[in-house]
């Protein structure tokens, strides 16, 4: 992914989209590790990045709600699973981790999309119309057009 594009995406993202971006990075690192299991130096770097993302996701969990407990357990499971995969050079561990994370990632995508949709309607819209020898401005507030 292009670094400038990613920086822009992160800078303009709402909270739910930031979580989606973390999951995308997490799953990309897992995929790279699984595909390159014979290159232990590369896999070690990917596992380190994966652990950094998992640590960030763990740090965002607050309280002892059922969801927080389940996500905490999931992140710890993924960490243990990739450690075993690295130690045994078992690429299937990395791909299994992706399978486990995919439904949670998809749920975050839906949350981010619904947040984006709720903010897609601007509060005020302004525009110009013109006719023969006249120019009118209009301002829309709360779906009611008024002549400006």
In CATH terms, the fold of domain 3-118 is 1.20.120
User: Using N-to-C axis directions, what is the helix angle for 40-60 and 66-88, rounded to 10°?
Assistant: 170
pLDDT higher than threshold 50 for residue 122: no
Most confident of 56-70, 83-97, 106-120: 83-97
Q: Average pLDDT of the chain? A: 81
Q: What is the pTM of this model?
A: 0.72
Domain chopping of the chain, boundaries: 3-118
Strand partners, 139: 126, 146
Question: Pairing mode, if any, of strands 144-147 and 134-141?
Answer: antiparallel
């Amino acid at each position: 992914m292009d670094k400038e594009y990613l920086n822009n995406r992160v800078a303009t993202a709402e909270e739910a989209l930031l979580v989606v971006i973390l999951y995308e990075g997490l799953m990309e690192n897992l995929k790279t590790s699984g595909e390159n299991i014979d290159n232990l130096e590369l896999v070690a770097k990917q596992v380190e990045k994966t652990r950094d993302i998992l640590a960030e996701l763990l740090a965002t969990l607050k309280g002892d709600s059922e969801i927080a407990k389940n996500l905490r357990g999931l992140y710890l499971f993924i960490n243990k699973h990739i450690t075993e995969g690295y130690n045994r050079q078992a690429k299937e561990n990395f791909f299994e981790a992706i399978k486990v994370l995919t439904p949670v990632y998809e749920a975050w995508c839906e949350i981010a999309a619904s947040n984006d949709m709720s903010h897609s309607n601007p509060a005020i819209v302004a525009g110009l119309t013109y006719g023969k020898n006249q120019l009118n401005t209009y301002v829309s507030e709360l779906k009611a057009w008024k002549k400006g």
